[in-house]
Structure 1
Amino acid sequence: MKKDLPENIVEDVSIAIVLERESPGEKVWHVYLINEKMTPIKNVMVSSKGYGVKDGKDVKTSILRHFIGDIDSGDYARIEAIDEQVFGLTNEYWLSYYVNGTIYDKKYIFLPESIIDENLTKIPVLNKPGVLIGGNN
């Protein structure tokens, strides 16, 4: 039964939406997974989707699934590029990975309009501006 399963809590793994570069005509954004653990994470899988209301209509993006593989301690991996047009939607990332043969998973949600200039901070390891959701909160 579900109550008998161990509660595997995700800590020290973050997802960040990062401003890669900016020119007068465009901004280029990417989504990254950051492993802040002291151990590698293995067989990393991330699914992503967006949903919400835009121009008075319900909108859903396609669900994308990304097999990342292994990420060393203190390292990061790019998940996908992301278009500014979906920043007005809820952007959801479902992460699964293994540590020492035990599976962990967590849902990270970037709320609509949370990816704005006022919320940008310097993202650890990448040293670029972005919005970060940490795995220990």
Structure 2
Amino acid sequence: MSRMIFVNLPVTDLQKSKAFYEAIGFRNEPKFSNDAAAMMVLSDTISVMLLTHPFYATFTRKPIADAHSSSQVLLCISCDSPAEVDKITDAAGAAGGKIDVSQEDQTKGGPMYGRDFEDPDGHQWSPMWMDPAFAEKGAHPVDESAAA
């Protein structure tokens, strides 16, 4: 069985957050959604659990960070093309997200193309495309003389 990941995010307005994630291509799974949580499916192995603050607080003793003023995680998702990066980022902006919030301009060519956006609660997402030839080689060429 494939390993799955469930990213749990605290949200202030569950319905608004559900609508936002649906607008950028996630699918709601009603079997695991109620008034306190919504399972939003990105792929067969990746889902985001949107949890109201009171429900999220039942899973941790730590205070819930305000993602608008502090960073706790950067969520990067792969895309099949630069056009798909633009599509999801532009959809996020149209759905009420804040786009291109990174300090670095990631859209200026090279082997990778990425942009970023924040959801309504300030969680930062970074859709990213990587040139397949670059991905094949990797970021650090192997020094074959060191292996001897």
Q: Compute the TM-score of the two structures, normalised by the length of structure 1.
A: 0.25
Q: Determine which structure has the larger strand proportion and give its number.
A: 1
Larger relative contact order (Cα-Cα within 8 Å, sequence gap ≥ 6): 1
Q: Determine which structure has the larger helix proportion and give its number.
A: 2
Q: Compute the TM-score of the two structures, normalised by the length of structure 2.
A: 0.24
